[in-house]
Chain A
Amino acid sequence: MAEFPEKELMNSGHNACPGCGAAHAMRYMLKALGKNTTVNIPACCWAVIPGVYPSRNLEVPLLYTAFETTGASSSGIRAALKKRDDVDDAEVEVVGFAGDGGTADIGIQALSGAIERNTDTIQVMYDNEAYMNTGIQRSGVTPEGAWTTTTPVGSKGDWKKQPKKEMMEIVESHNVPYAATVNIAYPDSFVEKFKKAKEFSGPRFMHIYAPCPTGWRARPSDAVELGRLAHKSRFFPLFEIEHGKYNIYKEPKEDEVIPVKEYLKIQGRFRHLPEEMVEKIQKRVDTKWEQLKKKERFTQEELYE
């Protein structure tokens, strides 16, 4: 396993909530990618976290862009780097770093365009499962059953009815060389997979599971534990897709797997769910897991060689 890098490229004095998983996400990512990295960030929590001018907490170049333009901005940065004589553009990682709303909803065409054009970039979705910066509105990636301010519970309406949008599948269908899911609860494999992504060129996609204690109505001290429970319950499986081949990593052993309920119950956003709904979510998790195992088996076969 790769060494866990000591050097910090994300510093203290930032504006994330106490216990913010998105802060872990940036910290570990920059540890893995190193200082020859540019980051472009659209409107999202991370547009506020680095600080207000003249304060900033990242030791790498940072460009703020409009909410819907992450992929396009990354393409632009790559093109500009290519034109410069004073930089060896092959040595620079261009990262587009957006929330789930910015990636999967409003920014999806820019993402699709950038990866389809074969832009040399790592597109990152830090997934806190809602539009958090503007006060917890649902996104396409918010899981089924969750309370948000736009999927309220009780007399005014109901919880979110639609299942979580599968960004890995959408990206996979663009035939990218590398895509992976990572989880902030496992910093070592997080860093290892980002280092692996760095070895490829062309469009790469990283889906980071980044618990948000504020929006999930959980205790800040449970942020890491939430990531762990999501993994152990198979709610958020860890896997990578390399040139179409699926590989599940850090697979929880059969006897380590816990019911999804364990994960749901420490979050206020799921508190209202009736037993049948918890069972329905469990079923969906089980089905998704079976599908993933089948995809892994199928794509590992010779026809993909």
Chain B
Amino acid sequence: MIEVRFHGRGGQGSVVASELLARAAFEEGKDVQAFPMFGVERRGAPVTAFTRIDEKTVRDHSKIHEPDIVIILDTALLDAVDVTEGLKEDGDVIINTGKDPSEMKIDIEKDADVYTVDASDIAIEHGLGSEMAPIVNTAILGAVCKATGMVDIDTLSDVILKHAPAKNEANAKAAEQAHDEIKGPYPGKKLEGREGQLSSQQTDIPKSEDLLCRDPEDHTDLPRTPIADCDSEYLNKTGSWRTVRPIVNKDKCINCGICWKFCPDVAIFVEEEGAVVDFDFCKGCGICAEECPVDAIEMDKEEKYV
């Protein structure tokens, strides 16, 4: 069995990607599953989705804990989410970035490989999404076909033509282009593709103690009544949702406080030297930039600052 985990953000199409990959494998006669992890499904929030592919019936219905392949739709997530958590020793990581695989600093075991593809650029070229928010899910799948040999690119193209929610032809073309332009593997130690793995043993069902994310001891200091003691500020760093970030021009700022007043996330404050953004929580909505009376705030791509 091959188990795949997608990391993206709400709005980027990770869930659709997991389904299209499963459909393509199904067309080739495999047994498949595709499912998202239900969390906070908000635009920009990190989203995880999974695909399982096997030649036998897939009986395991649990979450994927030890993926063979991890697909990252947005590099800004590298800082926010432990993307290689549980990745198999000989796993593959496929990242949407313009950089070379050798430049990616990610934590993998010695036999794992990294691939990169500039899916954002390809998506923009094919008119998928906008410059600021390209829709990269189909492009990256083309690269996945090439890197893993799990499904044929022609099968994937057909599936995209039939089942993509919109702009089917452009999406299929983007996948084909990414298939041709993927870089990697790096360091490239593995000799065989993944085809032989499709009928391997199914993974064990994880034990309940593995599923506990935190030591119960950690909870004891927290109140157990509905009388709230506010701790979202320690537990929920929503800065990771951001795809664009506000940059304050301190020379222009007149300390009026309007940005503070209108920030829905209470993430911008006015200090003596001008407005200061709390990047732990700012979600990059852009309201502060829109409302600033002297245009002292500009929104810039988050990627540049990761």
Residues of A within 8 A of B (CB): 4, 8, 10-21, 23-24, 27, 48, 50-51, 54-63, 187, 213-214, 219-225
Q: Are A12 and B285 in contact (CB under 8 A)?
A: no
| B 73-115 binary contact with A (CB < 8 Å = 1; else 0) | 0000000000000000000000000000000000000000000
Q: Are B262 and A59 in contact (CB under 8 A)?
A: no
B189 at the interface (CB under 8 A from A): no
Q: Considering the complex, which residues of chain B in the window 211-233 have a beta carbon less than 8 Å from any beta carbon of chain A?
A: 219, 222, 226-233
Q: Are A57 and B230 in contact (CB under 8 A)?
A: yes
Write out the residue numbers on chain A whose beta carbons fall within 8 Å of the beta carbon of B278.
12
The 6 closest A-B pairs by CB, nearest first: A221-B286, A13-B232, A19-B285, A12-B281, A57-B232, A18-B285
Tell me, in angstroms, the Cα distance from A279 to B44 when the chains sit together.
36
Q: Considering the complex, which residues of chain B in the window 229-281 have a beta carbon less than 8 Å from any beta carbon of chain A?
A: 229-238, 241-242, 261-262, 264-267, 278, 280-281
Q: A4-B261, A13-B232, A19-B264 are in contact. Are A48 and B290 (CB under 8 A)?
A: no
Tell me, in angstroms, the Cα distance from A222 to B287 when the chains sit together.
7
Of the residues A11, A15, A19, A224, contact of B233 by C-beta under 8 Å: A11
Q: Are A13 and B241 in contact (CB under 8 A)?
A: no
Q: Are B287 and A223 in contact (CB under 8 A)?
A: yes
Q: How far is the CB of B169 from chain A (nearest CB, A)?
A: 20
Tell me, in angstroms, the Cα distance from A55 to B234 when the chains sit together.
8
30 A–B contacts, CB within 8 A, in A order: A4-B261, A12-B278, A12-B280, A12-B281, A13-B237, A13-B281, A14-B232, A16-B42, A16-B264, A18-B242, A18-B284, A19-B283, A19-B287, A23-B265, A27-B264, A27-B266, A54-B219, A54-B222, A55-B231, A56-B228, A56-B230, A56-B231, A57-B233, A59-B230, A221-B286, A221-B287, A222-B290, A223-B264, A224-B287, A224-B290
Write out the residue numbers on chain A whose beta carbons fall within 8 Å of the beta carbon of B284.
18
Q: Are B40 and A15 in contact (CB under 8 A)?
A: yes
B291 at the interface (CB under 8 A from A): yes
Q: Are A62 and B290 in contact (CB under 8 A)?
A: no
Q: How far is the CB of A105 from chain B (nearest CB, A)?
A: 23
Q: Are B43 and A17 in contact (CB under 8 A)?
A: yes
Q: How far is the CB of A32 from chain B (nearest CB, A)?
A: 14
Write out the residue numbers on chain A whose beta carbons fall within 8 Å of the beta carbon of B238.
12-15
Q: Are A11 and B232 in contact (CB under 8 A)?
A: yes
Interface residues on B, range: 35 or more
Q: Are A12 and B232 in contact (CB under 8 A)?
A: yes
Q: Considering the complex, which residues of chain B in the window 13-60 have a beta carbon less than 8 Å from any beta carbon of chain A?
A: 40, 42-45
Q: Are A187 and B261 in contact (CB under 8 A)?
A: yes
Complex: chain B residue closest to A19, CB-CB: B285
Q: A13-B238, A23-B265, A214-B43 are in contact. Are A61 and B283 (CB under 8 A)?
A: no
| B 185-208 binary contact with A (CB < 8 Å = 1; else 0) | 000000000000000000000000
Q: A12-B278, A13-B236, A18-B283 are in contact. Are A221 and B264 (CB under 8 A)?
A: no
Q: Are A8 and B44 in contact (CB under 8 A)?
A: no
Q: Are A187 and B264 in contact (CB under 8 A)?
A: no
Tell me, in angstroms, the Cα distance from A14 to B278 when the chains sit together.
14
Complex: chain B residue closest to A21, CB-CB: B264
Write out the residue numbers on chain B whose beta carbons fall within 8 Å of the beta carbon of A11.
230, 232-233, 266
Q: How far is the CB of A197 from chain B (nearest CB, A)?
A: 21
